[in-house]
Amino acid sequence: MLTLAIWIAIVIALAATASALLRAAAAANEEQQAKAESLGFARLILTSIFGVVIGQGLVPAGLPWWATALISVALMAALLFGTQWLASRFGHRPVGQWLLKSLQRVVNSWHLLFTPLSLPKEDQPEEFEQDLLDSVEEFGDTIVREIMVPRVDMATVGGGATLAEAMQVLLARGYSRVPVTGKNIDDIVGVLYLKDTARALYEHRLDFAKTEASALARPPVFVPESMPVETLLKQLQTTNRHIAIVVDEYGGVAGLVTLEDVIEEIVGEIADEYDRSAADVEHLEDGSLRVNARFPLFDLGEILELELEDEDVDSVGGLLAKELGRLPARGDSVVFSGLQFTADKIEGRRKRLTSVLVRRNEDLDDAKAAFGGHDND
């Protein structure tokens, strides 16, 4: 019995040694690296079987159980560390590559046998890939209203404005396209492109001080706010446009949507190197607050122990835009209910307002009294 166990143990030890050498050789070969982990599991399993065989072979010797267990564990450790040493010395050398090539069929069989154990998560998508798959699945259910830039955040150029004035808006906001209005914001007569404006200056030598922006504006594309985003993407591709004006059910302008908005709906927010995530409310040393532009106006009132409400807007940034009557630029400031709101940071390719500085008046009692008699309508 002991002799048979010894011979079986020798064969298993040789197989474990071969698997260790093959694993090291596969790890050093770019084409075989995927099989290295499964070969490592094969070595561990063979080493465990080796220990069991040794233990069973020592049973007829009549040794105490603890002695049998100790001998088995010691021989398993010797085999494990011995094969590891041999693999580190010879696995990456020509002899290891020769062995890997010679036993390729055996390696493939071991790989198929032990891959489910060694690589249980290989076919599972990473977190980003899963988010991307989820976004694609939800893409067909998303409508334009959910991704558009709201009307209050739109930057526009009046149709009577000159090209010089329009160029100032384009450069100040960092946009490549801007809607051109007629009588009011609900009357979009076209879209002015920065490249068209630059071409008119340098190629056609137009008089920027006299030429109106509407003269170079391209016809706008109008889409309903209820249009599926998938349909919008096809329309933008068909018309070779990157921007569309969104209208509501009554024909008024609800906002605008760009090709970038559509892409971000799939892959997530596209931020440049200047974009930074910030806390909703940051207390500054001078006693003022730096508030996220999307922070609810009501919640800000709770922090300042004031009842801040407005029937038309819900966010701090929306309030600033409403009081200014236009899209805020950095440094723009308004006073509302005894508080001073100042546009702080403009970030991203869309040049959105991201934070607002909020300061109390020196006399808080007067601020509260002013709010008590102030009508927000």
Q: Residue 232 falls within a domain, yes or no?
A: yes
Cα 149 to Cα 178: distance, rounded to the nearest angstrom: 13
Percent of the chain at pLDDT > 90 equals: 10
Q: Residue 128 falls within a domain, yes or no?
A: no
Q: Phi, psi (5° rounding) for residue 142?
A: -90, 140
Q: Summarize the confidence of residues 352-374 as an average pLDDT.
A: 65
- Residues 16 and 92 occupy one common structural domain: yes
Cα 290 to Cα 186: distance, rounded to the nearest angstrom: 33
**Two tokens, residue 22:** 């093959």
Cα 276 to Cα 366: distance, rounded to the nearest angstrom: 36
Return all residues near 190 (Cβ < 8 A) that are at least 6 apart.
Answer: 179, 180, 214, 217, 218, 219, 220
Return all residues near 158 (Cβ < 8 A) that are at least 6 apart.
Answer: 180, 181, 213
Q: What is the DSSP letter of 186?
A: T
Judged by DSSP in three states, 341 sits in strand
**What type of residue is 92?**
H
- Residues 149 and 262 occupy one common structural domain: yes
Residue whose pair of structure tokens reads 């009588």 in the numeric block = 183
pLDDT at site 206: 73
Q: Residue 129 falls within a domain, yes or no?
A: no
- Decide: residue 19, CB within 10 A, 0-12 exposed, 13-18 middle, 19+ buried: buried
Number of domain units in the chain:
3
- Residues 251 and 212 occupy one common structural domain: yes
- Residues 204 and 290 occupy one common structural domain: no
Domain boundary among 215, 235, 267: 267
pLDDT at site 140: 67
Return all residues near 257 (Cβ < 8 A) that are at least 6 apart.
Answer: 144, 147, 148, 149, 223, 232, 243, 244, 246
- Residues 262 and 285 occupy one common structural domain: no
- Residues 153 and 102 occupy one common structural domain: no
Q: What is the DSSP letter of 125?
A: P
Q: Residue 127 falls within a domain, yes or no?
A: no
- Residues 77 and 159 occupy one common structural domain: no
Return all residues near 56 (Cβ < 8 A) that are at least 6 apart.
Answer: 5
Q: Residue 138 falls within a domain, yes or no?
A: no
Considering only CA atoms, which of 9, 17, 14 is closest in space to residue 56? 9
Q: Average pLDDT of the chain?
A: 77
Return all residues near 41 (Cβ < 8 A) that are at least 6 apart.
Answer: 114, 117, 118
- Residues 215 and 100 occupy one common structural domain: no
Considering only CA atoms, which of 198, 184, 169, 191 is closest in space to residue 351? 169
Cα 61 to Cα 95: distance, rounded to the nearest angstrom: 40
Q: Residue 55 falls within a domain, yes or no?
A: yes
**Two tokens, residue 83:** 């094969």
For 199-231, what is each residue's pLDDT tens digit? 887 777 777 778 888 888 999 999 999 998 888
pLDDT at site 273: 44
- Residues 95 and 16 occupy one common structural domain: yes
- Residues 13 and 111 occupy one common structural domain: yes
**330, HSE (Cβ side, Cα atoms, 13 Å):** 10
pLDDT higher at 297 or 108: 297
Cα 224 to Cα 232: distance, rounded to the nearest angstrom: 10
Sheet holding 333-336, edge to edge: 281-283, 289-292, 352-360, 339-347, 333-336
CATH number (domain holding residue 367) = 3.30.465.10
Look up the pTM and report it. 0.44
Q: Residue 131 falls within a domain, yes or no?
A: no
Q: What is the DSSP letter of 296?
A: B
Range of the domain at 175: 144-267
- Residues 157 and 92 occupy one common structural domain: no
pLDDT at 311 over 50: yes
CATH number (domain holding residue 242) = 3.10.580.10
CB 39 within 8 A of CB 111: yes
Residue whose pair of structure tokens reads 């998303």 in the numeric block = 142
CB 153 within 8 A of CB 352: yes
Considering only CA atoms, which of 257, 51, 296 is closest in space to residue 146? 257
Lowest mean pLDDT across 20-24, 146-150, 272-276, 342-346: 272-276
- Residues 87 and 198 occupy one common structural domain: no
Domain boundary among 243, 267, 291: 267
Q: Residue 134 falls within a domain, yes or no?
A: no
Q: Summarize the confidence of residues 294-303 as an average pLDDT.
A: 86
